[in-house]
């Protein structure tokens, strides 16, 4: 009887732990794409910014927007739009290193944190993302990317996100399907 009780308690504890892990994953990840959600990305990025500042390293952040995504949904429907976002996320994830952090910022906008990566190396990653996106099957998509690399004024991840967002808008207003870099201040 004691053995059965111990076994039952063990099974319950195992199930509880598995449920806790699943709930933690759901609380930190976008369900559709499997990327970090906005809140989890910002928390992770804040910790990484502090680590980089403490050790005197740089990091880069890419703000990525799937160009004309509303047209995909309007033309092909939301199920195809969801498939495009999943495929895009999968393609980007396949290009990343282990320390890189990729998240869905909202809608068709994603963010990518590249720890210990300077401006030139980040630009290479951004170009690879553009090429990988253009290679996707129908419906064809492109991306616009804003790139910001840490400087002395980046006291919070919000500052870095803001500079990457400004660069993203320059890429979009410059014709889309391109990478724009935030100025080094």
Catalytic annotation present for 108: yes
> Which residue out of 22, 50, 108, 120 is catalytically annotated?
108
Burial letters 7-37, b for 16+ CB under 10 A, else e: eeeeeeeeeeeeeeeeeeeeeebbeebebbb
Minimal CA–CA distance to 33: which of 90, 113, 116? Answer: 90
Count how many Cα atoms sit within 13 Å of the Cα of residue 44 in the half-sphere of its side chain: 20
Alpha-carbon span 81 to 70, nearest angstrom? 8
Angle at alpha carbon of residue 181, lines to 180 and 184, rounded to 5°: 160
Catalytic residues, by residue number, are 108
């Amino acid at each position: 009887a004691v053995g059965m009780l111990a076994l039952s308690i063990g099974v319950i504890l195992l199930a509880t732990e598995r449920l806790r892990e699943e709930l933690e994953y759901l609380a930190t990840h976008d369900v559709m794409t499997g990327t970090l959600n906005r809140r989890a990305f910002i928390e992770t990025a804040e910790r990484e910014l502090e680590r980089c500042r403490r050790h005197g390293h740089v990091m880069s952040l890419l703000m990525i927007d799937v160009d004309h995504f509303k047209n995909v949904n309007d033309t092909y429907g939301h199920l195809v739009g969801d498939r495009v976002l999943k495929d895009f996320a999968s393609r980007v994830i396949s290009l990343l290193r282990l320390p890189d952090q990729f998240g869905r910022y909202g809608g068709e906008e994603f963010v990518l944190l590249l720890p210990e990566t300077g401006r030139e190396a980040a630009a290479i990653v951004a170009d690879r993302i553009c090429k990988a996106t253009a290679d996707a099957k129908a419906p064809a998509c492109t991306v616009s990317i804003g790139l910001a690399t840490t400087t002395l004024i980046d006291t919070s991840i919000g500052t870095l996100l803001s500079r990457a967002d400004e660069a993203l808008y320059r890429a979009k207003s410059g014709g889309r399907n391109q990478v724009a870099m935030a100025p080094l201040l």
